[in-house]
Structure 1
Amino acid sequence: MTLPVVDTPPHCLEDVAVLMPAYNGQADVDLTLASFNESALVHVLIVDDGSTPPIVAPTLANMRIEVLRMPKNGGIERALQTGIEALAQRGFRYAARIDAGDRSVPQRLAKQRAFMEAHPQVAALGMWTQVITRAGAPLFMLTPPAEPAAIRRLRFFRSCLAHPSMMLRIDAVRAVGNYRARYPSAEDLDLFVRLMERYDCANLPELGLYYELNEGGISATKRRRQVLSTLRLQLRYFNVANPYDWFGLAKNLLHLITPYRALQRVKRSLLAPRASH
């Protein structure tokens, strides 16, 4: 299946909502929402996962923001599950994920919606991601494959879908059981693998997100739990005929015994842009 890039005129985004879970970090919430630049009104649902003090919706032009408050902190998995159900109840067709602290590129939502309208079999669509520091300095680019077949083949070997860059078809997410807490800190991979059993997942091969590498984020503070959940998923969906499933299993076993900061140094050295000579 060939997935061409779609030239996108300005579109109405009435059936799209940005879905952002948040736990404290009001300043990060404000920065992220201010980064959106679209030609149409942007709808946002912030799921406040028991923040103290509660998250407050910033006042931004061209943006309609609702805050849905969870009664207590229950984790990102339950916050996302609640957010998807809330958006379905409100009649939205697409959920555009982003996390507090990350930044969107201009017209990201319009481009993703146009592509998904043109490719109804695609249930989840990501974009290339520039990883940055807390101060906004570039570190390295994530340029995963665009084609669904390549994503299926490599899904356990490398990160093929950057969760905060994704646009999700809400009815498809609900059809496969929504987000769930069965695989803690790997709720995104769990969802994507289930979606790939019935639909396609793809990427637009262009920059769509600036992802903030936060040393206090899930990947850093809950890394062991994340790797263990990933290994459980790999074993659950393991394909012995796919060599990349074997490579991915070995890679995650290595991640289990390698310190997080050492892994980040290796990734930066391999993916950082080289100076021209």
Structure 2
Amino acid sequence: MNNSAVLLIPYFNNSEGLLRSLRSIDPDEEIDVIIVDDGSVTDKFDEAVVRSNFKARGIILFEYLKSNKGIETALNSGLKISIEKKYKYIARLDCGDSCLGKRFAVQKAFLEENPEVKIVGSNVLAVDTNGHFLYSINLPLEDRNIKKKMYLNSMLIHPAVMFCSEILDSVSLYPLDHKFAEDYAFFFTISRKYKMANMEEYLTQIEINANGISLKKRKQQVKSRITIIKKHFYFGFYPIYGLLRNYVLLFLPYNLILSIKKIRK
């Protein structure tokens, strides 16, 4: 192991997105990468090409699942490798998303300077598949506000987080019973035990793909969020409002939601 931090990237039939993500990492960053191929068939990557597009100071590890098991299983495979290799910090990125600036160095420094915080995200820019700006995502920065507003939606953007691997001893891995909302469930569990934070800087750019799983399966995702909110429910403003909000989202077309986000940018 060359570094104390590792970047976990799940992969499924998106070699162009993977290479774009790797090229976005600043050459001065000190971070290893674990790429977990979730049973790709139609668009397998070439390891030599992948390595040639990674310019940062670190190594790339590859893990191949024999068949498509879903992102939760792919992520958990990566977490198990991270634990085995004894990485102190684990960061996330999805194929097609990009790092801005020296993201990992900034987040690692934040966690080291604020040891009471065990997971940190950042504000995020959203673009379409052509790289055109859509909207910005500005999140609550402090633990108290993050935890209150988690009942509305995830207040951490999954491909923008870095967390301390030590929390996995008590939080465990990504749950398998909350389809398309495994990150939301994972973060909610973390919120019950540890302090969280977001950085005000825009450290990650995410790609909004109309053909992506999250959008095609949006109703299932919202239903999973509702189940998670009910699991952690108490009688208060945010849990009640969060439930009502997500029930409304079940019936709103995504194009309308996207238009509202663009207006609010």
- Is 1:47 aligned to residue 41 of structure 2? no
Question: How many corresponding residue pairs?
Answer: 258
| C-alpha deviation, 1:262, in angstroms | 1.7
Q: What's 2:15 paired with?
A: 26
Please say if residues 20 and 98 of structure 2, whose CA atoms lie closer than 8 Å, have aligned partners that are also in contact. yes
Q: Is the 8 A contact 1:231 1:249 kept in 2?
A: yes
Residues 69, 224 of structure 1: CA spacing in aligned structure 2 closer, same or farther, 3 A cutoff? same
Q: Residue 244 of structure 2 aligns with which residue? A: 250
Q: 2: distance between equivalents of 1:61 and 1:253?
A: 45
Amino acid of the structure 1 residue aligned with 2:193: R
**Alpha-carbon displacement from aligned partner over 1:22-47 (angstroms, at most 9, x marks no partner):** 10110100000100005243310001
Kept in 2: contact 1:20–1:100 (CA 8 A): yes
Check the 8 A contact 1:173/1:195 in 2, yes or no.
Answer: no
Q: Distance in 2 between matches of 1:126 and 1:217?
A: 22
Query: Which residue of structure 2 aligns with residue 56 of structure 1?
Result: 46
- Are 2:83 and 1:88 equivalent residues in the alignment? yes
1:257 aligns to what SS in structure 2?
A: coil
- Distance in 1 between residues matched to 2:197 and 2:251, nearest whole Å: 31
The alpha-carbon deviation at position 248 of structure 1 amounts to 1.0
2:26 counterpart (22, 31, 37) = 37
Unmatched tracts of structure 1, length 5 or more:
1-12, 272-277
| Deviating more after overlay: 146-155 vs 157-166 | 157-166
CA distance in 1, matches of 2:169, 2:13: 27
| Counterpart in the other structure of 1:4 | none
Within 1, Cα distance between the matches of 2:90 and 2:46?
Answer: 21
Question: Which amino acid in 1 is paired with 2:125?
Answer: Q
For 1:136 and 1:126, locate their aligned partners in 2 and report how far apart those are by CA, in whole Å.
22
Report the Cα distance in structure 1 between the residues aligned to 2:200 and 2:123, rounded to whole angstroms.
6
Quote the RMSD (CA, aligned, Å).
1.4
Mapped contact 1:156–1:249 kept (Cα < 8 A): yes
- Using the aligned pairs only, state the percent identity: 29
Could you list the runs of 5+ residues in structure 2 that have no partner in the other structure? none
Paired residues for 1:113-262 under 5 Å: 113-241=108-236, 243-262=237-256
SS of the residue corresponding to residue 76 of structure 2 reads: helix
Q: Which runs of 4+ in 1 moved over 4 A?
A: none
